[in-house]
Amino acid sequence: MQTGSNSDQRNSKEATVGWKETVSQYQTPNPWRSLWQVINSVVPYLAIWYLMYRGLAISVWLTIPLAFLASGFLARTFIIFHDCGHGSFFKSWRANEVLGCVMGLLTFVPFHHWRWEHAMHHARAGDLDRRGSGDVWTMTVEEYLNAPRWKRFAYRIVRNPFVLLTFVPLILFLALQRVPSPGARKREKRSVYWTNAALLILVLLMGSLMGFKQFLLIQFLVILITSAVGVWLFYVQHQFEGVYWNRGRDWDFITAALKGSSYYKLPKVLQWFTGNIGFHHIHHLHPQIPNYLLEKCHKANPLFQAVKPVTLRSSLRSFRLHLWDEASERLVGFGHLATLRKARL
């Protein structure tokens, strides 16, 4: 028994030491695979979008199921946009920039501004002292108890599952992405303005060709579904049972990547549509790995495979987790507050 235990410890140590060597083998993009992903994501999306337009002439009810399918391909398109933001989709910096800006128009997101905010998310994920930029609003138990009533009410509204998957995605993608964030540099601000101008031209052009009502209805349905999927994925990737959070002085990058980002084990078809983003622990550990190599990297090192997966079923329990309890170092629900108050009496 002791020999087996020592062997496991030795293997674990070797895996920990060797993770840099492992990820370095998968950080080089394959230009042909990248181009094929653009083709099998964007072309079907545009084709289904056209079918939605044609279907409107028959019945709006034909458009709704097609909207779900189109949203799947748009979600996959957003992953391309995401990889371009990390400079991982092509070897060429310029190619990533150009494609990222084009994908930004399809996803309604300004490329340079999003890249700047997303970089902060990667640098701060799991750090309690640096919350508030590019993450889900998360309060500690003590912060919630000491907050004024209006703030506690607002927090409960935002964390409500219905609000989180309907109003929040629309506000995020249709409103907040249209305005530069405080502290944004000139380049990031220009990215927002140019994207807004390009989207306005696109709306005017498409509206004049096919009718504003038809265009806005189709685009709204697709954005509604896609943004809800995106918010849910981002939420469950950092809000799950056993997640890691810590104060800045004790925060550790590797631990934050492997334990603060989920391994969301999805059915293969959903894994394909979401561009392997479920391997989020690998992505946070080394964001320069192209999405289509994340699974191979995950399987290449026992350290990565030791991360407990979050399944589609278990991820639903994330809806019950709302506050970070620093005493027990875990996410808890609002029901935990009543128990805590009783214990303090």
Query: For the segment 39-84, what is each residue's pLDDT rounded down to a tens digit?
Result: 999 999 999 999 999 999 898 888 999 999 999 999 999 999 999 9
Separation of alpha carbons 106 and 74, rounded Å: 8
pLDDT band at 27 (very low <50, low <70, confident <90, very high): very high
Indicate the pTM of the whole model.
0.91
* CA–CA distance, 239 with 316 (Å, rounded to integer): 11
Residue 231 CA to residue 174 CA, distance in Å, equals 13
Q: Best-predicted range by mean pLDDT among 16-20, 172-176, 291-295?
A: 291-295
Tell me if 307 sits within 8 A of 258, measured CB to CB: yes
In whole angstroms, give the CA distance from residue 103 to residue 125.
Answer: 25
Q: What is the mean pLDDT of the chain?
A: 91
The DSSP secondary-structure symbol of 127 reads B
Q: Tell me the mean pLDDT in the region 225-241.
A: 94
Q: Which pair of tokens denotes residue 303? A: 């350290």
102-149 pLDDT tens trace: 999 999 999 999 999 999 999 999 999 998 777 889 999 999 999 999
Whether the per-residue pLDDT at 208 is higher than 80: the answer is yes
pLDDT exceeds 70 at position 16: no
Give pLDDT, residue 306. Answer: 87
Environment class of 86 (CB within 10 Å of its CB; exposed 0-12, middle 13-18, buried 19+): buried
CA-based diameter of the chain, in Å? 75
Residue 194: per-residue pLDDT? 97
What is the pLDDT, as a whole number, of residue 2? 41
Q: What is the pLDDT at residue 344?
A: 60
pLDDT number for residue 60: 87
Distance, CA of 253 to CA of 125 (rounded, Å) = 9
Q: How far apart are the first and last CA of the chain?
A: 47
> Strand 323-325 and strand 330-332: pairing?
antiparallel
Q: How does DSSP classify residue 91?
A: S
Q: Rounded to 5 degrees, what are φ and ψ at 291?
A: -55, -35
Phi, psi at 327, each rounded to 5°: -65, -45
- Distance from C-alpha of 331 to C-alpha of 156, rounded to nearest angstrom: 15
User: In the numeric block, which tokens belong to residue 108?
Assistant: 């309604």
pLDDT band for 8, please (50, 70, 90 cuts): very low
